[in-house]
Structure 1
Amino acid sequence: METIQSTVEQPKKKTLPIIGGIGFTFFIALIGWGLAMLSGFQKLGPMALAIILAIVYRQIWGYPISISTGIQFSAKILLRMAIVLYGLRLNIQLIIQDGLGLIAIDGFVILFAIGVTMFISKRMKADPSISLLVGIGTGVCGAAAIAAVSPILKSKDEDTAISVGLIALIGTIFALLYSFLFPLLPIDDQSYGIWSGISLHELAHVALAAGAAGQDALAVGLLAKLGRVFLLIPLSFILIYLEKRKGVNNEKTKIAFPWFLIGFVVMSVLGSYIRAYNPMKLQNLLDPIANVSSFLLTMAMIGLGLNIHLQQVRKKALKPLATLIITSILLSIITVFIAEIV
């Protein structure tokens, strides 16, 4: 009887921490999304608010070790699920039809952001892991890009969470600055929309800034931004290749293929097909699924945020933060001239 009872209790002991950890990240994510609906917090967005809540919790009450397996599940598995579903946002057909001209500019933006970030970080002796992540986040699509490449780069959870937090903070500040500067700049609505799309960090930041110039500016801004999201696919495979090259002389180095990127591509194709050929009923499902992916990504970021210890962050994050600000300023200045030409 004792052996039977022990075998029944063992799965419970393993299952409860997983359920508890997932539930914990779900609860904080829910609070973050709730706060983001209030007028004073709308500009920050749910992801940034949820990460702040997770960090504050860690500093006051410590890391919840008893439910750590569930928290790690959110940080690892739910993260990959969110990236796969994120692919539904990408309309490949729209990019091919109207955005091919912007792809070259988007490619330049990504190379510029990563290159300048790494150059400045070396000069400032900033943490190279965080600097590379914020460079990729700045160039591509913010938190989603960081989340996609961090498993490839084998980044620490703490570094990933810090990078996402920095991108969320600076991206929000720049989006608000763009909205403020728009009436003062000698550029038309379309140029302003393109400028927002090729330079701001997150899709949400582009929507916030470009929306200030109207629906046409918002549409072209999101199109320009989607081109950068599209380039996340080749960038990820380039990073896989480079990481394997690094490990050529090191037998212990193994680069696990990020299969979730295949899911990302499949979902991108599926979403593009639904938009092009299927009835409106199916198209109406894309937005709710996109919201689910955002919520799962928020849960994952909470799992990562709980790994942040502020005393260590002070040492590691200040220089990457300065690097991110400088790169973002330079990128904004260069791209505003590019947007006028386009």
Structure 2
Amino acid sequence: MHRITTIDMLVIALVTLVASLAGSALKSLPVLSMFGALIIALLIGMVAQFPIRRWYERGRSARVDGVRDGAGLISNKLLRLGIILLGFKLNLQILFTKGIVCLPIAAVVVTFAIVVTYAIARAFRVDPMLAILVAGGTGICGAAAVMGLSSAITVDEDREEEKQEDIMMAVAAVAIMGTVFALAEIVAGPLTGLSATQLGVVAGASLHEIAHAVAAGAAFGSVEIATIMKLSRVLMLVVASIVIALWWDRTQETPDSAGRRRIVFPWFMLGFIGASIVGSFVPGVSTIAPTLVDIAYVVLGMAMAALGITVNFRAIANRGRAAFLASFLASILLLGLAVAIAALVF
């Protein structure tokens, strides 16, 4: 309770709220729409850390600790709330009717992308935690997947700062790669000879952020199938979180002195599924679901901005290059798979 009721917590809450609302407002601009509200909020948070350090912290150790604790609390707790509320975006009735063909494709695409991205990253000697976060973001739904999967990964307290740096690097990698490939698909897509429906499937199956898939789908005149295909991948976040939590515990987590292991089951994913079920099948909820999704993005934007406030730029420069390259190469392979599936199935 003490960590919540502090001036430092209030300052960071206000800064992250402003950053999140600004991200939601700026995402409608032509160029920034390709990034989406979450990435914009992250960038604002990264910029905000400089005035916070210079004018608020001013080298005072108590305030430095307070800002770090406040940002950590927001990025951790609001992340879970945002992911749960994001479940209202998934209309299961549509996914299990119009999107029934997309669901098995999403399972194949997500599995392929995570396994291949992780393998490439590890071949480049990227540490396992950063590698799996980049793999999840590339395979599922960009920044939201990175943040969601990070909650399924447990580390010792002395590695918590490293974990935050890895989250930041993974988010940056998938955001940049997703934007690059979205622009590439929009420009080159019409030259491939694929139909509008096929191009929409390719966008939904290969691009990282929901904003990327929607933007590309709109450019092709097939935004509905692109969105359904993308949301089918988002649904895989639940299964991926559980599988990765179990895998991390078995392969990476170190038992304590009593020989016990700390597995953290991502319980908030049950809330995500619950919100999807309620929004899809409970009468009347569908009318307020868009508002709840808007709140989800505000909350997630605050979590992203809080992450940006604590980012270590030097660590990204030193450790992030191999992760970026791994995401780039995996994105090429993912695009190839998506094109092949679209051509064969649609």
Deviation per CA, 1:52-85, whole angstroms, max 9, x where unpaired?
2222333565476243333222101111100000
How far did 1:329 drift? 0.9
Distance 1:293 1:88 in 2: 9
How far did 1:241 drift? 2.3
How far did 1:11 drift? 6.5
CA contact (8 A) 2:154 2:264 kept: no
Could you tell me which runs of 5 or more consecutive residues in structure 2 were left unpaired when the two chains were aligned. Answer: 58-62, 156-162
Distance 1:87 1:122 in 2: 32
How far did 1:252 drift? 5.0
How far did 1:48 drift? 1.7
Report SS of the residue matched to 1:253.
coil
Pairing 1:260–2:274 present:
no
Pick one of 175, 181, 191 that aligns with 2:182.
175
Deviation per CA, 1:251-293, whole angstroms, max 9, x where unpaired?
353123322111111101011114xxx35xx423211211111
Pick one of 319, 323, 326 that aligns with 2:329.
326
Pairing 1:194–2:185 present:
no
Could you tell me which runs of 5 or more consecutive residues in structure 1 were left unpaired when the two chains were aligned. Answer: 1-9
Distance 2:45 2:225 in 1: 35
Pick one of 313, 338, 346 that aligns with 1:335.
338
* Superposition map of 1:1-342 within 5 A: 14-58=5-49, 62=53, 65=64, 66-154=66-154, 156-214=163-221, 217-246=222-251, 247=253, 251=259, 253-274=261-282, 278-279=283-284, 282-342=285-345
How far did 1:117 drift? 1.1
* TM score, norm. by length of structure 2: 0.87
Distance 1:232 1:262 in 2: 11
Q: Which structure would you say has the larger Rg?
A: 1
2:158 aligned partner: none
2:160 aligned partner: none
CA contact (8 A) 2:118 2:134 kept: no
Give the letter aligned to residue 268 of structure 2. Answer: F
CA contact (8 A) 2:117 2:138 kept: no
How far did 1:211 drift? 0.7
Distance 2:328 2:210 in 1: 19
Between 93-102 and 305-314, report the one with greater CA deviation: 93-102
Give the letter aligned to residue 91 of structure 2. Answer: N
Instruction: Check 1:129–1:42 CA distance in 2 against 1; reply closer, same or farther (3 A cut).
Output: same
Distance 1:199 1:11 in 2: 44
How far did 1:248 drift? 8.2
TM-align CA RMSD = 2.3
CA contact (8 A) 2:90 2:280 kept: yes
Distance 2:96 2:254 in 1: 37
Distance 1:181 1:291 in 2: 32
Give percent identity, aligned residues only: 29
Corresponding residue pairs, total? 326
Between 247-256 and 290-299, report the one with greater CA deviation: 247-256
Structure having the larger proportion of residues in helix: 1
Deviation per CA, 1:152-210, whole angstroms, max 9, x where unpaired?
11361221122112212211221121111122111101111111111111111110001
* TM score, norm. by length of structure 1: 0.88
Give the letter aligned to residue 32 of structure 1. Answer: G
Distance 1:300 1:253 in 2: 28
Distance 1:153 1:12 in 2: 23
